[in-house]
Structure 1
């Protein structure tokens, strides 16, 4: 089992043991993304690492058509059940973000993820994923993501794994510095970089908003 697969199994077990661990309300960056995507006239959204679906459901309730991607088929089944009548605008895909995204070129208006890029992904894997996100985004499309950064209290704590990654409490986090944000923004315009805090630690994150350059 690879490090990423071990982390996937760890997250799946955590979700199974705590099915409401994040609650039913959208996250703060999810609410921001809903408002931005609607204002910009987006109709289709790809959410990477949908998890328990709290932001997925917010996108659906706003009238958006959503493709929710996660490695855990059980989590996706739970989102489908929770979507109710909005499920007609929901597609779920069980996939590994280390592989090419299973969508056509320029097929979505927006891409969103909340802490997905902090998984146990190496910098080359993150660069490949960023290139895939640009590929599936239409020219002018939006990419909103959040990441824990090097100012987070857990950065440098626990077991150092190299490449900006640390293991703490069984979870591996790839902490971002500003250079990595800029590196992954190739082919896009950085519209916004906003620091915020979340949770009881608290976790310290950046909310990054990019617009894909065209054509």
Structure 2
């Protein structure tokens, strides 16, 4: 089983993303992801003003949230991706609405308790993280969200065609073409919702492959 602190694999993935963003700026385009569009609707319905995005990359979703009227704190462990995000925010006149923060999700968030209205993470939690690290990351999200705060995240799941193939790293992590993924089963999703109100587990496909994902929506109880 892969253990927290497997520095070799972590550093390999860090270099992979730095090189990818450098070679392919705007690799995902400028249009928001479908999960981000859904998340914005959820956030508006519960009166959200501030959004924390984990794993923002070069910022297509962070910029969409900003254009939608939210104040956004965008985090990523790739300095290259965040530099591209900052440049796009400035060019788009959104710099006042977007704050970037270089951060590795394996570490505690450098944010106060109850400091954000909502959080969003598109495929971040299914990166090269152990189950223990995933639990810690979600606990940190819960810490920084206010009571009633919403968390929308997406992950590739064990129904994906890549699950169980490629290079096995243990703990349901498999690597293809230099890209490692932690595939989620339903048990893990439900365990991560402990202490939250689980609103939805929505299956969807993305990309030409296609990737098989779940979009999960959960909220902090208002009496928390």
Range class of TM-score, shorter chain = over 0.9
Matched, 1:139 2:147: yes
Aligned position for 2:10: 4
Unaligned runs of 5+ in 2: 1-6
Shift of 1:35: 1.5
Contact 1:44 1:66 in 2 (8 A): yes
Aligned position for 2:76: 70
Instruction: Measure the CA separation in 1 of the matches of 2:88 and 2:72.
Output: 14
Shift of 1:75: 1.2
Shift of 1:39: 2.1
Shift of 1:2: 2.8
Contact 1:73 1:94 in 2 (8 A): yes
Aligned position for 1:154: 162
Instruction: Measure the CA separation in 1 of the matches of 2:170 and 2:125.
Output: 16
Matches within 5 A, 1:60-209: 60-83=66-89, 84-209=92-217
Aligned position for 1:23: 29
In angstroms, what is the RMSD of aligned CA positions?
0.9
Aligned residues: 215
Deviations 1:153-204 (A, max 9, x none): 0001101111011011111100000000011112101101100000010000
Give TM-score, length-normalised by structure 1.
Answer: 0.97
Instruction: Measure the CA separation in 2 of the matches of 1:14 and 1:76.
Output: 13
Question: Segments of 4+ in structure 1 off by > 2 A?
Answer: none
Contact 2:58 2:83 in 1 (8 A): no
Shift of 1:20: 2.3
Instruction: Measure the CA separation in 1 of the matches of 2:18 and 2:191.
Output: 30
SS at match of 1:195: strand
1:33 to 28, 36, 39: 39
Unaligned runs of 5+ in 1: none
